[in-house]
Amino acid sequence: MVVAVVAAMLLAASVSAQVTRLIWPLVPRPAVVRAFDAPRPDWQRGHRGVDLAGAPGQPVRAAASGTVVFAGELANRPVVSVAHPGGLRTSYEPVAPAVRAGQRVAAGAVLGHLQPGHGGCAAPCLHWGAMWGPASRADYVDPLGLLADTPIRLKPLHGGLLSKP
């Protein structure tokens, strides 16, 4: 009975939620130079994305299909940001844009080219961020956890349906 209830809940969640699974924005698969470090509370210092090793001029690709919401300079850094179905947005910097705001892009489409100068890296790297919700209240998430090649694992809840009595 418990298995049937859990299966029904999982099926309902997968049908009702639009979960975007991402692809790597750099090809070939890059090394992660600096990991995601969520600030607690969210206004504190942290690292709201991941830094991926790259080369100057390397094409930077959309991690999923969506609409470009920003492509230009932000705080003296070239940035591209894409809104995806379901409320997810991804950001890429420093990237010289090859797209414009309002443009629809497919997963894997070239957004621009990697520029040197990201302050968090000794060598050229891409700062890749992901966030849920509107810009004014965005919840930053680790984009590596949204990759299509990252397995999804369900863990038992302590005291919940999946734990032993």
Query: Cβ distance 114 to 57 under 8 Å?
Result: yes
The SS3 call for residue 153 is coil
Mean pLDDT calculated for residue range 136-161: 73
- Determine, yes or no, domain membership for 16: no
State mean pLDDT over 77-104. Answer: 96
Q: In terms of residue numbers, what domain contains 136?
A: 21-146
pLDDT at 158 over 70: no
Determine the pLDDT at residue 99. 98
Amino acid at 148: A
In a domain, 84, yes or no: yes
Of the two residues 138 and 30, the one the predictor is more confident about is 30
With respect to residue 93, please indicate whether it lies within any of the assigned structural domains.
yes
Q: In this structure, is residue 162 part of a structural domain?
A: no
Helix (H, G, I), strand (E, B) or coil at 129: strand
Whether 7 maps to a domain, the answer reads no
User: To the nearest 5 percent, what fractions of the chain are helix, strand and coil?
Assistant: 15, 35, 50
Domain annotation covers residue 161: no
Percentage of residues of the chain with pLDDT beyond 90 = 49
* Average pLDDT rounded to a whole number, residues 16-28: 78
- Return the half-sphere exposure (C-beta side, CA atoms, 13 A cut-off) of residue 16: 6
38: CATH: 2.70.70.10
Q: Quick check: is 29 in a domain?
A: yes
In the chain, how many domains are there?
Answer: 1
**Residue 14 belongs to some domain of the structure:** no
The DSSP-derived string for 39-90 is -SSTTSS-B-SEEEE--TT-EEE-SSSEEEEEEEEETTEEEEEEE-TTSEEE
Can you tell me the mean pLDDT for 133-138? 76
